[in-house]
Chain A
């Protein structure tokens, strides 16, 4: 191990069906470097540590400041954003750093995965507020400062997928939508106008793969780079769907308006 260089061990895969292989890169170390800046150095001169020419590893990135959620990958086996993975933290004495793509999403190439299932989940729980009309609907109801503060942290979710990657209940033989979408359902139900569609969101969470599939492992809240209280969101949605089920059963036809909407 030398402190002059940064050693990256990258899991490479040319395409979804191609075999996986490991490649090691060694590039000069700079102060303040992070995993993405080192990947950029590798891209400038894609030669492995043993001197073989190769293709530059592919990865996703956009904002470089942990707000876009696109540089999700496994750094030393743990799900996180690569942009904030500092070389100084991971390799204080020149230890090699391993990079792998997320394992719970379809692989595109190298470190790039397809996270569109998260977008599908957001559509399932209607993670938006329908305010568009054919005429001006006027200002919405006021929101208390307290609600705004509670909602703020949930609104920072960047759909990075860390909570799904670490979740034992999210895997190929389970339809669980994961913590992110559940927390977004809570975010939009907590909005005075979004609350008008509360019923649809709760019903979506009662479908197969909904909130009841949570296994209470709590990894999501540990892995979330935005420190969103995901286990609180899940427990709160658990409470809401419990009440919803009780109301649906005892108060007959409570959802006639939903049925009319759909027909």
Chain B
């Protein structure tokens, strides 16, 4: 016993759990926070987008973007999918609350991943190719259509749920919340985080959509 230890899977699962909070969950909050600028109108939004792009000089910007956002996000997503496919969800046979949340956590993760992929290709990649920053006008024009707004609402709300429920899961997986009482408290905190991030996200998206509609 204890001689040949195969802890790779254990460490990968812990890594998957950790990256979900830091930095991926953290970045979700930051991204929503910076996009609140959309509520302050076109000038302020364009200013902030510009400032963020100039936050760090060039090689550092890419290094930070890849090491703190993209690579952890890929690790979290790919390991997450492996975990998803190792399970056999059964919420219809055993319709308990947490069993539904288990299933939802996997589906929202999958939907969220597709959304982030499309979001990244549409804006970040396009901007890299084009060489000019995104403007308020670009985004409002894009979100003026109801199908695009719907896709954004589905994608972003999936991610907000995944984040909130993931907070509960993180505390459970790392053994922070052991007793029933603390686990229940953490579930409330998770729901709170879901509602709070959802309000911000819906507010931003609806305001961009309405601005787009107004500008025809």
Contacts and interface: CB of A to CB of B under 8 A. Distances in A.
B171 to A, nearest CB: 8
Contacts of A210: 9-10
Interface in B67-111: 83, 85-90, 93-94, 96, 98-99, 101-103
Contacts, number: 130
Contacts of A232: 178-180, 183
B10 A168 contact: no
B135 interface: no
A102 B93 CA distance: 13
A100 B11 CA distance: 38
A235 B87 contact: no
Given A206-B5, A210-B10, A262-B2, A171 B87 contact: yes
Contact of A239 (B101, B178, B180): B178
A91 B83 CA distance: 39
A239 B5 contact: no
Contacts of B85: 173
Interface stretch (A44-52, A134-142, A214-222): A214-222
A73 interface: no
Given A78-B93, A238-B174, A245-B14, A215 B2 contact: no
How many interface residues does chain A have, given as a range?
Answer: 35 or more
Contacts of A207: 5-7, 10
A230 to B, nearest CB: 11
A208 B96 CA distance: 27
A168 B90 contact: yes
B173 interface: yes
Contacts of B11: 245
A249 B151 CA distance: 45
Given A203-B1, A222-B96, A208 B102 contact: no
Contacts of B168: 216
B183 A235 contact: yes
Contact of A208 (B9, B90, B98): B9
Interface residues of B, number: 39
A166 B90 contact: yes
Nearest to B165: A216
B215 to A, nearest CB: 45
Nearest to A197: B1
Interface string A107-142: 000000000000000000010000000000000000
Contacts of A171: 87-88
Contacts of B175: 235-242
Contact of A229 (B5, B93, B169, B180): B180
Nearest to B102: A217
Contacts of B101: 217
- Interface-central residue, A231, A234, A237, A238, by most chain B CB under 10 Å: A238
Which are the 9 A-B pairs with shortest beta-carbon distances? Answer: A239-B175, A258-B2, A218-B98, A217-B102, A238-B175, A212-B13, A171-B88, A206-B10, A235-B178
Given A203-B1, A207-B5, A259-B2, 8 more contacts: A204-B1, A206-B7, A208-B8, A218-B96, A231-B183, A236-B175, A239-B176, A242-B174
5 contacts: A168-B90, A169-B87, A212-B9, A215-B87, A262-B3
